[in-house]
Amino acid sequence: MFPLMRRWLVGLLTVVIAIALSGCNPNDFKSQAAQVTQIVARTPGDPQSFNYALNQSSPSVFGFIYEGMIVENGKNGEIEPGIAQSWETSTDGKQIVFTLKPGLKWSDGEPLTVDDVLFTYNDIYLNERIPTDFRDIIRVGESGALPKVRKISDRQVEFSVPEPFAPFLRTVGGVAILPKHSLQKSITTNNSEGKPQFLSTWSTDADPKTVIGNGPYMLESYATNQRVVFRRNPYYWRKDAQGNALPYIERLIWQVVESPDTGLIQFRSGGLDILEIGPATFQLLKREEKRGKFTIYDGGPDFGTNFITFNLNKGNRKGKPLVTPIRSRWFNTVAFRQAVAYGLDRQAMLNNVYRGIGEFQDSPISVQSPYYFSPKQGLKVYDYNPEKSKELLLKAGFKYNNTGQLLDAEGNRVRFTMLSQAGNRTVDAIGSQVKRDMSKIGIQVDFNPVDFAVLIDRVTNSLEWECYFGLITGGIEPNSGANVWLPDGGFHPFNQQPQPGQPPIEGREVAPWEAAIGRLYIQGAKEIDETKRKAIYAETQRLAQEYLPFIHLVNPLALAAMRDRLDNTKFTALGGTLWNIYEMKVAED
The predicted model gives 582-586 an average pLDDT of 95
pLDDT in tens, 371-420: 999 999 999 999 999 999 999 999 999 999 999 999 999 999 999 999 99
Which residues 6+ apart lie within 8 Å of 264 measured at CB? Answer: 275, 277, 281, 284, 285
What is the pLDDT at residue 243? 94
The predicted model gives 119-133 an average pLDDT of 93
Q: How many Å apart are CA 246 and CA 288, to the nearest integer?
A: 33
**Would you say domain 305-556 falls under CATH 3.10.105.10?**
yes
pLDDT at 10 over 50: no
What is the pLDDT at residue 500? 74
Burial string for 385-401 (b: 16+ CB within 10 Å, else e) reads ebebbbebbeebebeee
Q: Kindly indicate the confidence band of residue 285, based on its pLDDT and cuts at 50, 70 and 90.
A: very high
CA distances to 57, 82, 180, 222 from 66, rounded to whole Å, are: 16, 10, 14, 17
Q: Kindly indicate the confidence band of residue 140, based on its pLDDT and cuts at 50, 70 and 90.
A: confident
Secondary structure string (H, E, C) spanning 318-362: CCEECCCHHHHHHHCCHHHHHHHHHCCCHHHHHHHHCCCCEEECC
Q: Count Cβ atoms within 10 A of the Cβ of residue 78 and give its class: 0-12 exposed, 13-18 middle, 19 or more buried.
A: exposed
Which residues 6+ apart lie within 8 Å of 475 measured at CB? Answer: 1, 3, 4, 7, 303, 366, 369, 574
Using DSSP, state whether 241 is helix, strand or coil.
Answer: coil
Q: How many Å apart are CA 382 and CA 335, to the nearest integer?
A: 12
Integer distance in angstroms from the first to the last C-alpha of the chain?
A: 40
The DSSP bridge partners found for residue 446 are: 417
The mean-pLDDT minimum among 5-14, 65-74, 86-95, 360-369 falls in 5-14
CB 347 within 8 A of CB 460: no
pLDDT at 588 over 80: no
3-state helix, strand, coil in the chain (%, to 5): 35, 20, 45
The mean-pLDDT minimum among 104-108, 165-169, 295-299, 322-326 falls in 165-169
Q: Kindly indicate the confidence band of residue 278, based on its pLDDT and cuts at 50, 70 and 90.
A: confident
DSSP strands (E only) in 367-515: 399-400, 406-407, 415-421, 444-450, 467-472
Q: Kindly indicate the confidence band of residue 589, based on its pLDDT and cuts at 50, 70 and 90.
A: low
Domain parsing of the chain, residue ranges: 305-556
Percentage, residues of the chain above pLDDT 90: 71
The predicted model gives 54-72 an average pLDDT of 90
pLDDT in tens, 177-208: 999 999 999 999 999 989 999 999 999 999 99
* DSSP secondary structure letter of residue 460: I
pLDDT at 171 over 90: no
The DSSP bridge partners found for residue 547 are: none
What is the pLDDT at residue 501? 76
Which residues 6+ apart lie within 8 Å of 460 measured at CB? Answer: 12, 56, 491, 493, 496, 499
Percentage, residues of the chain above pLDDT 70: 94
pLDDT in tens, 236-277: 999 999 999 999 999 999 999 888 889 999 999 999 999 999
Q: How many Å apart are CA 197 and CA 180, to the nearest integer?
A: 14
pLDDT at 176 over 50: yes
pLDDT at 22 over 50: no
pLDDT at 106 over 70: yes
- What radius of gyration do the chain's Cα atoms show? 24
pLDDT at 11 over 60: no
CB 169 within 8 A of CB 79: yes
The DSSP bridge partners found for residue 557 are: 301
pLDDT at 5 over 50: no
Q: How many Å apart are CA 451 and CA 562, to the nearest integer?
A: 30
What is the pLDDT at residue 34? 52
Q: Kindly indicate the confidence band of residue 21, based on its pLDDT and cuts at 50, 70 and 90.
A: very low
